[in-house]
Structure formats: C-alpha cells, structure tokens
Amino acid sequence: MKKLLLFVALCLSFTAFSQTLSVEEAVMERWTTFYPENLSQLQWVKGTDNYAFAKDNQLKIYNMRGRIVGAITLEQINKHPDLKLESLPRFKFSSSNTAEFSSTGKKYTVDVKSGKVASAGEKGKPMANEEKASNGNTAFTKENNVFVNTPGKVTQVTDHPEGIVAGQAIARYEFGIGKGLFWSPNGERLAFYEKDERNVTEYPLVDMNATPAELNAIRYPMAGSSSEHAACGVYDVRSDKTVYLNVNGGVRDDSYYITNLAWTPDNQSVIAAIVNRDQNVSRVVKFNASTGEVDRVLFTESDDKYIEPEQPVMFIPDGSGDFIWFSERDGFNNIYRYGADGKLRGRTEATFPITELVTFSPKGKFAVVHAHGPNPTETHAYRVDLVTMQMSKITTQAGTHRVMVSGSGKFIIDSWSSVDTPRKIELKSMSGKASRVLLDAADPMADRSVGKTELLTIKAKDGTDLHSRLITPPNMDMNKKYPVVVYVYNGPHVQLVTNSYMAGAPLWMHSLAGDGYIVFTVDGRGSANRGKDFEQAVFRQLGNQEMEDQLAGVNYLKSLRFVDSERMAVHGWSFGGFMTTSLMLRQPGTFKVGVAGGPVIDWTLYEVMYTERYMDTPKQNPEGFEESNLTNYVSNLEGDLLMIHGTIDDVVVMQHNMRFLKACVDEGVQVDFFVYPGHPHNVRGKDRVHLMTKVIDYIKANL
C-alpha cells in the first residue's frame, strides 16, 4: 500500500511539474505568479550608504554590513490618529532620516529615529500633468492651459483657445519628449512646451460604445502635411510674467522642433535642442530665461540621413558649469563633455551605445551610466571618469543589469537577470566587487514544462551579425520536424532579443512552445542598440533591409533539421504588423500564415515626426513611399493572413487597414479581419487573453 501511494505521489508530482502554460496564465499572470521575486521598495536612503526595502509590513534600513539600523513599521504608521492602513504605504526618503508617503489624499512624513508620523498637509486631488518644484510650488494643466499653485494662490499662466495646447508633451512624444512642464532648480520659474495645432488636420475616431456613436476628433499630422507649431514659454512666479523663447526669429511655423529642454544650475537660462523639420540638423541653443532671447548657439550637429537628440544637457555637479551631451555622431551613442561656452572638453570612445546616465558622483568626478555592450544583447553599468572620459566596466556577469548608486558614490545595488538567472540583487563596491547577495530569486516557472531558450548570432546576407532568440518545445524530439512561428518587430527604438530572464520573450511564446511549436525572433537592421550604421540602414526604404534580415533568419531556420519549413507563420504588431504584412505580400510563399496587428500599410498615413525622420516626406522620396505601400502587393498573397486593429487606434489609425481591405476587395483577394472595439493601439487587460487566443488559434488552424 505504501509503495502504491508513493507511486501515485510521484505521478502527481511529475504531472504538476510537466504542466505547460496556458495562454490565459501567460497573459494574466506574467507580472505576478510567473514574475521573478523582487525586493519591494528597494532604495538607497538619501545621502547615505544605507539601503532599505520592505517586507512583512516593515521598511527596514540596513548599513553596509547588513545590520538593521532603522525601521518603519505599519504599527508605527497606524499610531497616527488619521491612519488605519492594512498594508505598508510606498515611501520615498527626502533626507537621511525622513521618509515621505501619501494616504487618503494627505501627505505624511516619518522620522526614522523616533518613528513619529506627522501630517505634511493635504495632498489634494491629482492634477493633470502635475509637476512639483523643489520649493513646493506645483504646476499642472487643465484642458489645454497651464496653471501654477503657490502657497495660498492658483495662477492661470496661459489662456489659449481650442487648438493651442500648453504644458503637455509635444511632437507626439518623439525626441525623448515625455512631459511639458519644467521647473527651474529653485522653483521660481517654469518652462513649458506649447503647440499650436490649429493647422493640423482633425482626424475622426469613433466611440462605438456610446448610443448613438460619438465622434472624437484628434489632431493627427500625417507625413508631408502641415504639422504643429512648437513654442516654449517661461513663466516667472515672482513677476507673474511669461516670455517665449525666440526660437525662429519670432516666426512660429512647422519648420522646426523644440526638444530636450533643460535649465542651467543658476536658474537664469534654458537650453534646448532645435531640430529642423528634415531632422538632419540640431542646434543646441542657450536662451535667456528673463527675455527669451538667444544667448548663444552652443554647438550644432548634422547628419546626411537623420539626427535624433533624445536626452537634454546634464550639468556636472562640480561647480565648473560643464555639462554632458549624448550623441551618436561618431557611430555609437557616446557622452561628450562641454564647457559652459559650448567648447568640447572630451568624449567617451565606446564602440557600443551608452544609453542612460544613472547619476553623477556627489562632487562630479565621475558618472555612472548604462550601456549596451560590448555584447549588444546585454546591459552593463560603467563608471566614466569625467576628466579623462575613460570608461571602466562595473558589472561583470553576463546579463541585463540595472544599478542604483549610494549617496557617497562608493557603492551600488545591482539588480540583474539573464537567460539562466531569473533575478539577482547584489550589493557591490563601485569597482564591481560583490559584498552581499540581497536576493537570489527562484525560477517562477520551475513547476511548469518550459522549452529551451537560446540566444544565437546568425549572419545577414552581407555578413553582419544579427542577434536572435530560439525557443524550442519541451522534451523536443530531434528526429521530428516542428512548425515555426516567427515573431517580428525589427523597427526603430526596439530591441527584442536580450540576455535577460526568458531572453525578453513574453510568456505566450512559451505557452505556444508547450504546444509543440518553435518560436523564433531576430533583431534585424533598423532595430535598437547596435549603433548608427545598423539603425540607419533602413533610411528612405522602410521594409527592404528589414525583410532581407528576416529572410536570413528564415534561411537559418531552414538549415535546422527539426524545423518544418513548409509550416512557418509570422506575427507582429505595429511596425511588426507592417513587417508581417510585408513578408506575406512581398516574399510570398515564405510563410504559410501571417497575423498582423495594428499594421502600418501606407507610410503617407503615419505621423510626421516619426515617418519623416526615416523616410523624408512623400514629395522628397516618392519612390520610397510607393515601394513600401503594401496595397500595391495584395495580389501576391499566398497563404492565410489575419489583420487586427483597435477601433480607436490613435497611433496607427485604422485607415491603414481600411485601405488595405479595400485593395483586397478590388483585387478579389481574401483575407481575414478582426477588430477590438474601444481599444487604442494596444489591446490590454483581460481582452489581451482574447487577442492572444485569437492569434494562436488562427496560426494553429491554418498552419
């Protein structure tokens, strides 16, 4: 009897272990059940070398020896008469001994030593685009105007009619623009973006949930058409006056972009990168914040294809007035040190892209940055000596690293993962020597049957290295042949293949692999983090080079004995939808099935800022636009193609798919089409389960 029970237990254990992942689990539990363990609220205590993280309703503070030197508990928080919380709130250290948090519309502070909780005033109702200054002033927007909240007073800064929008991101979030309000360091002046969209065509989006359906018109500038007129205002809180930067001799038109705003440390000047509409010249200009007039052009960059500044100047905290600037003018994104007069002092010489400034050391002697190299699939931390501009690598383990630097600049917390490491968090010296492992997360997929994930380097037609990811079924039989799904994006600013947990693959791929499919992805030319030449190879001919590199991936797959080259499918979204449709129509017969979500079909219908950077205007590059227009190739279709779109997509408007479907009708070509009512460019939430089920079921049914 005991042997029988043991046998049953072993069988049950094996069954549980070998269970594959369902599509619903893969979508809905990706960031919970199947996300590697992390340390909640992990942070350095401001200005110190102590660190803190939350566990069991306590935020514990540790010194470098790992000893607890302070704590904030839920019990302490709830001693305040206004607070009866069930779980620990989120804290942020405002000093070495003070943490802040918000609850029920109020702000509170905690004295770490005494544990005393004090009310810090009303939090107030969240305002749109709220931006807080160092001195407590607050700026926000209401509808299309800017307001400033100072103690006891709310001031309306702008009073614009419909069509002029102030205080919000402009240029449709291109050029690294993510907000529209910028406080000076002392909080006494506010710079803000402004855009006049009255000359931009209104584009109709229809809300089908209303009865009757309602029209929501947005301003959407399409390639080659009239675009927004950009401006930048500076409001002085003390004088209650606003001036505008004199960007173009006082003439506001759509011939330029205002990007990468930054304040000088003395609060007297605003620095911005002014980019021409052709996006091949950028002038970094210093403006007088009191008058709005040009102080000086610090330097100019140009490129024969395009230029794309994405980060503002960042001043070195050494009192010199020098600043750093990110540029890929010499092939890879490097750091350039400039003096306040605009003279170049030095530069790093990385042969891979430096992507982010983590922080400066307290006295500005060095900086810590993240960079994609020397292996492009990995992210590492580097120390940059700001005098010699020499770089030294801090992180050593192969993988994707993100670091935080302590108050003294002597230590880092390194959180990293790789294909084989779900997550590891380590305390290290600035030299990279590990002193303590804070977390070594278990694999959350350990009890599921998951196939093998490999990072590969294949060769393009001309010998260029292309990084790829291959996911094979669990318990694969090397003597069998398996169908393949190629997931594609291959567009600007996106890298899909990384040496991180699961190699960066969404879990639906592992669910599909569990059903006996191979899933493959290659980052071809045009995709991110490989340097200027790799990224600019697609200039004026979107789709051409990308298809060639995807076909290199197909040829690699066909060389594998376990691949069924007669049963191959391709799927992608957005630019990946464009690539999916391109491959199905311009390389007919390569794939038996395609599923294209939110695809660009005709680049004349896509937004000015993005399209003109990579394609120029339709007038400047008529051949390129005509060659990439996928309605020209519908008669070539072989196999089954499903097109998907959200009905209120304001990024790739549904007119793309409507034009494509009309061309199919005109040519007598049958395709499948599905819409997601009420969804914008991406389908999120529980409806994403429906989406991925739709995609996978379509591939299985037709492959």
Helix (H) / strand (E) element for 252: namely: none
406 is catalytic: no
429 is catalytic: no
Residue with tokens 């600019």: 536
Residues 6 or more apart in contact with residue 283 via CB below 8 angstroms:
273, 274, 297, 299, 300
Amino acid in the structure at residue 617 = T
Q: CA angle, corner 242, sides to 238 and 246, nearest 5?
A: 135
* CA 573 to the chain's CA centroid: 16
| Cross-strand bridge partners of residue 413 | 404, 427
* Burial class of residue 699 in the structure, from the number of CB atoms within 10 Å of its CB (0-12 exposed, 13-18 middle, 19+ buried): buried
Amino acid in the structure at residue 83 = L
**Is 242 in a helix, a strand, or coil?**
strand
Q: What is the DSSP letter of 20?
A: P
C-alpha span between 644 and 674 (Å, rounded):
5
Helix (H) / strand (E) element for 577: namely: helix 575-586
Helix (H) / strand (E) element for 647: namely: none
Q: To the nearest 10°, the Cα dihedral for 81, 82, 88, 91?
A: -110
Annotated catalytic residue: which of 80, 160, 493, 681?
Answer: 681
Amino acid in the structure at residue 527 = S
CB of 487 closer than 8 Å to CB of 580: no
CA end-to-end distance (rounded Å), the chain: 48
Annotated catalytic residue: which of 322, 649, 656, 679?
Answer: 649
Annotated catalytic residue: which of 574, 602, 645, 656?
Answer: 574
Helix (H) / strand (E) element for 694: namely: helix 687-702
Tokens of residue 238, six digits:
């003390």
649 is catalytic: yes
CB of 129 closer than 8 Å to CB of 192: no
Active site residues: 574, 649, 681
